[in-house]
Amino acid sequence: MCYYREYPMGWGSAKSDASLADDDLPHVDAPPEDFSDQDFWRWVRGHTDWNLLDGAANPLANSFALSQGMAWQGRGLPSFAGIAGRRAGEPTLRFAVRATRAAAAMRTTDAAGPRGGAGRLAFGTGLGPGGLAAVSAASTYYRRPVGRADGGVERPNLFMPYWQASLSPVAAAEREQAWRRQGAAW
């Protein structure tokens, strides 16, 4: 007699709730650990109603998985996964950065760089001891491209892709701090 049988090589099961029924999977509650004492097909004929001649499922693997399954513990999303939005105006995040490059690492026409100019090409760059610095600022904010169909207001959240970014003007205090770090007088 020929029969269809897939040999289970691995199995697994995890449920979010231990009370969920397993009725939709062909399985038995207590499958044997091996078939050294009895042929597989004889065990199936005596303990199950599985069709071994035609089938697409692997009920033995289901049986192993469900008998060794576990209910995962969970409590939903953590409380810190949201944004504490302000009521007045849009919540924004603004930041400024300062990037520097040492004078010796730049190609300039004076002797400070790796390729110094000679003769009429020896121009002074006037770089301070810190080299060259640039300051930029940016902000991010939450805004839907199109209003909601129901006319409701949507508060900023981390689960919607409506975060926008834009460059911001550098504040006078930020510019002054960059100049001081550079060693220049304000």
Identify the pLDDT of residue 78.
57
Q: Report how far apart, in Å, the C-alpha atoms of 184 and of each of 4, 107, 127, 166, 176 are.
A: 83, 22, 10, 29, 9
Identify the pLDDT of residue 136.
94
Q: How big is the chain, counted in residues?
A: 186
CA–CA gap between residue 133 and residue 103 (Å, rounded): 10
Residue 149 lies inside a defined structural domain of this protein: no
Identify the pLDDT of residue 84.
62
Q: Are residues 113 and 25 in the same domain?
A: no
Count of C-beta atoms within a 10 Å radius of residue 60: 24
Residue 29 lies inside a defined structural domain of this protein: yes
Q: Are residues 106 and 165 in the same domain?
A: yes
Number of domains in the chain: 2
User: Residue 170: which region, alpha, beta or left (left: phi > 0; alpha: psi -120 to 50)?
Assistant: beta
Residue 106 lies inside a defined structural domain of this protein: yes
Identify the pLDDT of residue 44.
82
- What range defines the domain where residue 26 resides? 14-71
Residue 83 lies inside a defined structural domain of this protein: no
Ordered mean pLDDT values, 10 residues apiece, the chain (186 residues): 58 63 72 80 82 73 77 62 58 85 72 58 64 88 86 81 90 89 67
What is the dihedral angle through the alpha carbons of 123, 124, 125, 129, rounded to the nearest 10 degrees? 150
